[in-house]
Amino acid sequence: MATAEPGPQDPYTSPHFATSALITIDVQRDFLSEAPHGVPGTTEILPALRRTVSAFRATGRPVVHVVRLYEEHGGNADLVRRGLLESGARIATPGTPGSEPADGIVPEAAPALDPALLLSGRPQRLGPYDYAVFKPRWGAFHRAPGGTSA
């Protein structure tokens, strides 16, 4: 018996844009392609990401910016980054320009990130539709409120 492949109109797999949110993860200045410890390709996707963020805001959909904040000397860092941070590298250090979202992905009047609020596990409102949340590990949902650590 042949089974049908899910198509673009499949109600189980089709996107539901009217009830969706956009999530950006680690789109911070210290992770841009040209940064000393940046992620190649990050800067290059910014124009498309800016258009996508604008489209979500234009339709009143939420945009959640998941950010990483590394304590100086790596006390809260993943093991793979801890040695680098212990050696004095400063990457996404709370309160530094490099920890801030990349230019143009948060609303123009957005406040700077509030490290104390974010590190406490609470979200920060950045605009009418934008929020920032801190991720304690590379997995954006590790120990997320209401989630599991599996």
* Per-residue pLDDT tens over the stretch 44-53: 999 999 999 9
Cβ 129 vs Cβ 61: under 8 Å: yes
Of the candidates 70, 38, 65, which has an alpha carbon nearest to the alpha carbon of residue 49?
Answer: 65
State CA 54 to chain mean position distance: 16
Confidence at residue 63, expressed as pLDDT on a 0 to 100 scale: 97
Task: Write out the chain in H/E/C secondary structure.
Answer: CCCCCCCCCCCCCCCCHHHCCEEEECCEHHHCCCCCCCCCCHHHHHHHHHHHHHHHHHCCCCEEEEECCCCHHHCCCCHHHHHHHHCCCCCCCCCCHHHCECCCCCCCCCCCCCHHHHHCCCCEECCCCEEEEECCCCCCCCCCCCCCCC
Mean pLDDT along residues 87-105: 95
> pLDDT class for 145, splitting at 50, 70, 90?
low
Distance CA 41, CA 57 (A): 24
Cβ 123 vs Cβ 62: under 8 Å: no
Confidence at residue 141, expressed as pLDDT on a 0 to 100 scale: 61
Straight-line distance from the first to the last Cα atom of the chain, in angstroms, rounded to the nearest whole number: 37
The pTM of the full predicted model, rounded to 2 decimals, is 0.84
> pLDDT class for 15, splitting at 50, 70, 90?
confident
Mean pLDDT along residues 135-148: 63
Confidence at residue 51, expressed as pLDDT on a 0 to 100 scale: 97
- Both tokens of 55, joined, read 């489209």
Confidence at residue 150, expressed as pLDDT on a 0 to 100 scale: 40
Angle subtended at Cα 137 by Cα 114 and Cα 135, rounded to the nearest 5 degrees: 30
